[in-house]
Amino acid sequence: MIVDINSEKILRDDGVNYLNCDRGWKSWAFTLDHKRIGIMYLAGILLCFLLGGIMALLIRAELFTPGKLYLTEDKYNEFFTLHGAIMTFLFLIPSIPAAIGNFVLPIMVGAKDVAFPRMNLASFYLWVAGAIFFLLALGLGGLDTGWTFYTPYSTTTNSTVIAATMGVFILGFSSIFTGLNFIVTINKMRPAGMTWFRMPLLLWSLYATSIIQVLATPVLGITMILLTAEKMLGVGIFDPELGGDPVLYQHFFWFYSHPAVYIMILPAMGVISELMSVFSRKPIFGYRFIAYSSIAIALLGFLVWGHHMFLSADSPLAAVIFSALTFSVSIPSGIKVFNWLATMYKGSIRLDTPMCYALSFILLFGIGGLTGLFLGALATDVHLHDTYFVVAHFHYVMMGGTLIAFLAALHYWWPKMFGKMYSEKWAKVACLLIFIGFNWTFFPQFLLGSQGMPRRYARYEAEFEGLHRVSTTGAMVLGVGLGLSACVLGHSLWRGKRAPRNPWGAATLEWQTGSPPPHHNFIGKPVLTDPYDYDDLVFDEEEGGFVRRRRRSGSEQEKPIKEPSIV
């Protein structure tokens, strides 16, 4: 590929990229290329999302009537357990970091690969092994503990808890490997000139995420080992009959699983920070505040696990402290939302599909965050805890937040990953359907919860039937929307227009290389610029995308690295 340095225009393209530089299954199975590993992760997590999603639809269908429609209570309990476990451990946690992050992060820092490519591949295979254990639990049947594996139910029930906890244990290592890799890559492999405060904000959020992954995940691993030891060897840790304490399990579990919520949401926030700036054609507002708030969320996120347990034990003092800490973590999230909105001010806002998802994220995450106030406040939490209100709240955060941001990221980097453009029109229709279907499904659940409908109920009182029917109908719309989105992206692989290098006019480094990128990411050295300066990017008809305009005509001088416009 020969590129005109001054305009970044491709003069000649030899058509060789990371997808076609090597052929055969071995070239994928043993690849050390972060891009291919990212794509394999993407395929894996999308399969899991499909599986978890089908279960969600089956659950919603059963809840169309108060009595039995077609699932026995035991089957219903297994389905919601696997839905939760698959969605959190196999989809949400690896979604943005392992799939999108793996692909994008090294190119964003202008590197050839992550710091430890072999560890990266190992991380993927650990994920596969963990997934197999989960499928084993699914195949053997009977995993009905809920994704939280609360003791003593999980240690006394006759089900495949051990297979599932081994799966979680292995997945934990996969997560740690990815985190470690990202920390080292960001610390050591940034190009000269990309200081901490000139990094794209996605890197800040992935860095914050990685810190949590490395520090919190071992606790989950230890917990799962203790659980297995109790179940197999009868060591009394959590079961009061053996002298253990069931609440101790909840502490251990949430000490990981609450920070894990931030593992899921922080990368999503990073993605949104990128998109709001690119599609508003304006530097991100309050760069430092967004960057610091990521770190603040990562650190404060470690101190709030007790808010899952306000009603578990008789200590009002602990509840009060955790409630206060919980509110403190809401502030940095709010700061991010306000900065994103301020980024739009005086911009030139383009509503391409990724931006539609990003706006959808802000609204849904906004509702998710605000409804968290009801649950953080002690008195109202007593009423709302373990009801559908909580179910609605975390689906707004995890699905309206992380999943929507994942879809935004997927649509944003899709041209870079596969070199194809999808149909903007149909992708937007899908985005709208998902937005409508999502609210249709989950908003009624807030009302169900405040009216007193407990969660994890296979059967329910007749008074709740109306809202459950609304919710189930919405879930079908949501399913259609997601299906359409899959069709649009799938169709683009066959029939999509060839993607330009920089279809959105973004200024981060990955858009300087080909779509898809060559095996080593860049031919020649990428030109480092302010990641949020769009002044010199202009649309080029011939290229079909954006190119960097020559700053001074006739001069061969490259544009100097501008001081980033930050505090």
Partner 1 sequence: MVAKAASSKSTEFGEGANLMTFSIMDFVIFGSERSMFFPPPTSSTAAEVDSLFYFILWVCVVFFIVIVGVMGYCLIRYRERPGVKAEPSASHNNILEVTWTVIPGIFVGVIFYWGFVTFLDLRQSPDESYEIQVEAKMWNWSFTYPNGHVDNVLHVPLDKPVRLVMTSVDVIHSLYVPAFRVKMDVLPGRYSHTWFEANKVGSYTLFCTEYCGTKHSEMLSKVVVHPSGEFETWLENAANFLERMTPVEAGEILYQRRGCAQCHSIDGSAKVGPTFLDAFGSEQSLMDGSRITVDENYIRESILEPQAKVRVGYRPVMPTYQGQLKDEEINALIAYIKSLSEGSQVNP
Cα 193-185-274 angle, rounded to 5 deg: 65
Q: Which residue, 210 or 326, has its beta carbon nearer to partner 1?
A: 326
Helix (H, G, I), strand (E, B) or coil at 456: coil
Asked if 14 interacts with partner 1 (CB under 8 A), we say no
Asked if 319 interacts with partner 1 (CB under 8 A), we say yes
Q: Which residue, 64 or 327, has its beta carbon nearer to partner 1?
A: 327
> Residues 526 to 555: which contact partner 1 by CB under 8 A?
532, 534
Asked if 5 interacts with partner 1 (CB under 8 A), we say no
**Strand-strand pairing, 420-421 and 2-4:** unpaired
Q: Rounded CA gap, 434 and 487, in Å?
A: 14
Helix (H, G, I), strand (E, B) or coil at 454: strand
Q: Rounded CA gap, 261 and 118, in Å?
A: 28
Closest distance of CB 218 from partner 1, Å = 26
- Which of these, 520, 391, 537, lies nearest to 464 by C-alpha position? 391
Asked if 562 interacts with partner 1 (CB under 8 A), we say no
Number of residues located near partner 1, criterion CB under 8 A: 91
Task: Give the residue, chosen from 70, 196, 338, 539, that forms a contact with partner 1 under the rule CB under 8 A.
Answer: 338
> Residues 53 to 92: which contact partner 1 by CB under 8 A?
73-74, 77
- Which of these, 114, 58, 120, 48, lies nearest to 87 by C-alpha position? 48
Asked if 387 interacts with partner 1 (CB under 8 A), we say yes
Closest distance of CB 338 from partner 1, Å = 4
Which residues have C-beta within 8 Å of that of residue 159, sequence separation ≥ 6?
A: 141, 142, 143, 144, 145
Q: Which residue, 35 or 385, has its beta carbon nearer to partner 1?
A: 385
Closest distance of CB 312 from partner 1, Å = 5
> Residues 344 to 373: which contact partner 1 by CB under 8 A?
344-351, 359, 362-363, 366-367, 370-371, 373
> Residues 186 to 215: which contact partner 1 by CB under 8 A?
none
Cβ count within 10 A of residue 467: 19
Full DSSP string of 5-31: TTTTEEEE-----TTTSS-SHHHHHT-
Closest distance of CB 344 from partner 1, Å = 4
> Residues 153 to 192: which contact partner 1 by CB under 8 A?
153, 156-158
Tally of residues, the chain: 567
For residue 317, with 0-12 CB atoms within 10 Å meaning exposed, 13-18 middle and 19 or more buried, which class applies? exposed
Residue type, 347: G
> Residues 258 to 317: which contact partner 1 by CB under 8 A?
280-289, 311-314, 316
Asked if 236 interacts with partner 1 (CB under 8 A), we say no
Closest distance of CB 390 from partner 1, Å = 10
Residue identified by tokens 């050390």 is 32
> Residues 432 to 491: which contact partner 1 by CB under 8 A?
447, 450-452, 454-461
